[in-house]
């Protein structure tokens, strides 16, 4: 199931390196092309395609290996975008966010030529930026085009692909959390968004063998699942289809890293380990038949999830860490996370249930042993 043109976004997969639909749509226009030193070789290919289509190309190359979307960088790229009809990023999270922001300020469309299957924010309408040293998320507009050459993404640093896979494997617990909230609080489920995400997760898991070999067709399934997450969220109007207890753990840790001024490990890597923790909590509730509302249905939901060992082995197979200590999380922080992560968002998850039932004290030793 590979999506093309969803939610008004041109999602174009390339088979021979070209993107005819996109290039025809911008022929003869003035385009700002944003990239950094990591994505420069791919930007050079895009530059040639645009020049061949009579475009006037304004190139902005950031000389950074780890680009941060700070005000001065956004201002510079924004200044260079004056008079442009379109802003195209060649990159993943940061460059896409900058392109979305700059294009929004200039009142023109943006697009991204994806260079890594690292996160599920490609088609989101938010832009995560740095302002005054703080991370802020501006509400802008989703990109008009997402250009995917699986050959390029196949060659991305493997940690990035592992992170993208971690973000997708997290949809198991995130979708389960949604059902859990439905069982406990009667929160409605947007069935179309739910099944769209569930099917994309299934297709990605089916492609797992190919993913470990970095086969282009499998990488396309992973990319599709990441894009689907964005589309499901847009459908729902919130992040419920893509973000549950595993994400709340990641957000909690992110704030802690930021407070300490330490580098933040990739989003999907934290989400992958958080998924293992959430699976462990579901298993505990079912195995110990912890009394709760609609208990039998909650146990059945827990039993419908894959077991921790299977998911852990899949993450290991992708080269992803499976313990929080491996990514620099302090023991004390992880302990606090287990008790407090449910408070970072006003959203009911298995972490909220665990807090309500007061069972974390009984589980914590086992969880720390397995995942710290």
Q: Which residues contact 27 (CB under 8 A, 6 or more apart)?
A: 53, 54, 55
Distance CA 126, CA 122 (A): 10
167 binds Zn ion (CB under 5 A): yes
User: CB-wise, 69 or 230, nearer to Zn ion?
Assistant: 230
Question: Is 39 buried (19+), middle (13-18) or exposed (0-12) by CB count in 10 A?
Answer: buried
Stretch that binds Zn ion, among 167-175, 186-194, 220-228, 272-280 (CB under 5 A): 167-175
Stretch that binds Zn ion, among 3-11, 75-83, 166-174, 210-218 (CB under 5 A): 166-174
Stretch that binds Zn ion, among 15-23, 118-126, 287-295, 341-349 (CB under 5 A): 118-126
User: CB-wise, 102 or 153, nearer to Zn ion?
Assistant: 153
Give the footprint of Zn ion on residues 119-138 (CB under 5 A): 120
The pair phi, psi for residue 36, each rounded to 5°, is -125, -175
Give yes or no for a contact between 148 and 14, defined as CB atoms under 8 angstroms apart: yes
Least distance in angstroms from the C-beta of 120 to Zn ion: 5
User: CB-wise, 12 or 167, nearer to Zn ion?
Assistant: 167
User: CB-wise, 78 or 321, nearer to Zn ion?
Assistant: 321
Least distance in angstroms from the C-beta of 136 to Zn ion: 18
The residue written with tokens 């970072």 in the block is 344
Least distance in angstroms from the C-beta of 231 to Zn ion: 14
User: CB-wise, 53 or 322, nearer to Zn ion?
Assistant: 322
Query: Residue 128's Cα: distance from chain center in Å?
Result: 12
SS3 323: coil
Distance CA 323, CA 330 (A): 11
Maximum Cα–Cα distance across the chain = 68
177 binds Zn ion (CB under 5 A): no
Sheet holding 86-91, edge to edge: 10-13, 145-148, 110-114, 86-91, 30-36, 56-62
Site map (CB under 5 A) of Zn ion, residues 74-113, x = contact: ----------------------------------------
By the criterion CB under 5 A, which residues form the site for Zn ion? 120, 167
């Amino acid at each position: 199931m590979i999506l093309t043109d969803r939610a008004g976004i041109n999602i174009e997969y390339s088979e021979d390196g070209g993107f005819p639909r996109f290039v025809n749509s911008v022929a003869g226009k003035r385009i700002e092309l944003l990239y950094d030193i990591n994505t420069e070789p791919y930007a050079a290919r895009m530059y040639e395609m645009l020049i061949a289509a009579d475009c006037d190309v304004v190139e902005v190359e950031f000389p950074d290996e780890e680009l941060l979307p700070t005000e001065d960088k956004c201002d510079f790229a924004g200044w260079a975008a004056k008079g442009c009809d379109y802003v195209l990023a060649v990159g993943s999270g940061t460059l896409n966010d900058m392109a979305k922001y700059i294009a929004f300020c200039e009142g023109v469309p943006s697009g991204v030529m994806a260079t890594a299957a690292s996160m599920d924010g490609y088609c989101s309408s938010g832009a995560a930026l740095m302002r005054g040293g703080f991370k802020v998320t501006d509400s802008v507009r989703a990109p008009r085009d997402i250009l995917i050459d699986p050959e390029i993404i196949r060659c991305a640093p493997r940690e990035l692909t592992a992170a993208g896979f971690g973000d997708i494997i997290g949809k198991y617990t995130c979708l389960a959390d949604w059902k859990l909230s439905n069982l406990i609080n009667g929160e409605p489920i947007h069935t179309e968004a739910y099944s769209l995400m569930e099917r994309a997760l299934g297709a990605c898991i089916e492609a797992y063998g190919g993913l470990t070999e970095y086969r282009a067709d499998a990488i396309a399934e992973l990319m599709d699942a990441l894009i689907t997450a964005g589309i499901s969220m847009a459908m729902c109007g919130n992040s419920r289809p893509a973000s549950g207890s595993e994400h709340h753990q990641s957000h909690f840790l992110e704030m802690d890293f930021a407070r300490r001024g330490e580098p933040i490990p990739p989003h999907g890597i934290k989400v992958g380990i958080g998924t293992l923790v959430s699976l462990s909590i579901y298993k505990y509730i079912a195995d110990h038949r912890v009394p709760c509302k609609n208990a039998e249905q909650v146990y059945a939901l827990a039993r419908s999830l894959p077991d921790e060992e299977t998911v852990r082995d899949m993450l290991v197979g992708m080269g992803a860490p499976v313990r929080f200590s491996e990514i620099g999380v302090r023991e004390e922080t992880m302990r606090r996370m287990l008790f407090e992560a449910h408070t970072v968002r006003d959203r009911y998850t298995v972490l909220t249930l665990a807090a309500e039932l007061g069972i974390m004290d009984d589980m914590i030793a086992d969880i720390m042993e397995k995942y710290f």
